[in-house]
Structure 1
Amino acid sequence: MAWTDPVDIYCERVSAAFWAEPVNALSNASFILAALWAAVEAHRRGIRSPLAWLLILMAGAIGIGSFLFHTFANRWSELADTLPIWSFVAVFVLAAMHVIGGMPARRVAMVGGLVIAAAVAALWFATGEGTGPAPAAPDPLNGSGQYFPAMLALVVFTIIAFWRRHPGAPWILAALVTFAVSLTFRTLDRDICTALPLGTHFAWHLLNGLMIALLLQMMIRTGRFAQTAPR
């Protein structure tokens, strides 16, 4: 498999042209807007935590990587798409263990290796490496199964946040509901091309941008970053 091999898995793409997916490509602006909103709020609150700003930068990187994938649409741009996503997931999970779960930083560092290993495995699966021959039948979930661990993590953090009466609980619940809807749109995209040639993948981008915006705002407004920020 060459890095320049084309990838055509979305309704909107009907050719190999750079702008064959204009809506899918431009809808990635939602991630950039989420990062900008978070940056403005963090600056306003005087938050200087490197971890908070790393998450903000990673959110913007998701939008850039996904834009590359929906324009170049090949194997290397697929990696540019998935790597920022799973990097954000790994770092957010570690941050949430401390910010929401109250886990000591040392213990968070201990489980960090496991989280990173899981993210690498998900990335390996997502890019099709090491999966062996292609399955005889299409994936009924259209590749959405790779995101179930992220969904499970949000469910767990939602339960913990409400159990601990964390002020960010409503934000996390809103993010969970948003992600559930966005995952549905991603799953449906391949199967409705005839009825809706544009597809629904763009809705996955828009709603995921909103989900990440909610998570970042939760961290900035109610997490330990907010509690320790200078006034």
Structure 2
Amino acid sequence: MNPGLRVSEYCERIDASFWAEPANAVSNIAFIATAIGIFWLLPRKGPRDYPVLLLIALTVLMGIGSFLYHTTPSRLTAIADVLPIGLFIYASFFIAIMRFLALRLITTIWVTAAFIAVSLAVSMSLQHVIGTSAGYAPALLALFGVGLVTLPYRRKIGTGMIMTGLMFTLSLSLRTMDYAVCDWFPIGTHFMWHALNSVVAYMLLRLIVHARRPGTFEH
């Protein structure tokens, strides 16, 4: 594998220069803003919320990895782009179901393992339909699924998850249509995927942060 092999997957990139995708690159600052915003929500006193700190770190890495890929696209930077996203999806799923549903550790591990297995199957089955966006379809289903399961027990959190799922639906749609709009919107819609995904991450992490506090978002 040649780590310097160039790729071109987005409307905005028409050459191999560093700033060929300015909107796609600069829009990743939204992930840094999300990380700062969630960190600000954490209590200043008491035990540190290490699971959320992990998710904050992964949010920062998502922004950095995506910036690298959209400025110097290669197989190596593609890994830096998608790896933090995958880790964020599975880590946030693990933490969310444990907090929202008060599951035991062993149950959470088994449910997360099942989610990973189903994710791989769903991604492969949808790849010929929505291309590279298929890898994110399981995350979309998880947002709605966890929201619906949580809704009867913790209405505000369940509703929040469903709203997050709706936002991610819009975000994923914009990612999927990027190539389709090239002729009349040369900049493409991928930068909107970044911007809205940062909102999705904020909405999800805010629910996870507050779910740890007794009496918060309980009804």
TM-score (norm 2): 0.88
Equivalent position to 2:133, from 123, 144, 150:
144
| In the alignment, structure 1 residue 190 sits paired with structure 2 residue 179 | yes
In structure 1, the residue matched to 2:69 is 69
Cα-to-partner distance string for 1:35-73 (whole Å, 9 max, x where unaligned): 110001114475612112111111111111111110111
| In the alignment, structure 1 residue 165 sits paired with structure 2 residue 158 | no
CA distance in 2, matches of 1:191, 1:142: 12
Change in 2 beyond 3 A, CA 1:27/1:68: same
Change in 2 beyond 3 A, CA 1:50/1:116: farther
Deviation of 1:216 after TM superposition, in Å, equals 0.7
Q: CA RMSD in A?
A: 2.4
Number of equivalenced pairs: 213
Question: Percent identity of the aligned residues?
Answer: 34
Deviation of 1:212 after TM superposition, in Å, equals 0.2
CA distance in 2, matches of 1:165, 1:117: 27
In structure 2, the residue matched to 1:8 is 8
1:142–1:190 contact (8 Å) kept in structure 2: no
1:39–1:53 contact (8 Å) kept in structure 2: yes
Deviation of 1:101 after TM superposition, in Å, equals 2.1
Q: Which runs of 5+ in 1 are unaligned?
A: 127-137
Amino acid at match of 1:219: I
2:28–2:195 contact (8 Å) kept in structure 1: yes
| In the alignment, structure 1 residue 227 sits paired with structure 2 residue 214 | yes
Amino acid at match of 1:198: I
Deviation of 1:107 after TM superposition, in Å, equals 1.8
CA distance in 1, matches of 2:177, 2:58: 27
Moved more, 51-60 or 110-119: 110-119
Cα-to-partner distance string for 1:89-123 (whole Å, 9 max, x where unaligned): 0101111121112211232234444556667x59x
With CA pairs under 8 Å and 6+ residues apart, which has the higher RCO, 1 or 2? Answer: 1
Change in 2 beyond 3 A, CA 1:72/1:156: same
Change in 2 beyond 3 A, CA 1:108/1:67: same
TM-score (norm 1): 0.84
| In the alignment, structure 1 residue 207 sits paired with structure 2 residue 196 | yes
In structure 2, the residue matched to 1:154 is 143
Deviation of 1:139 after TM superposition, in Å, equals 5.1
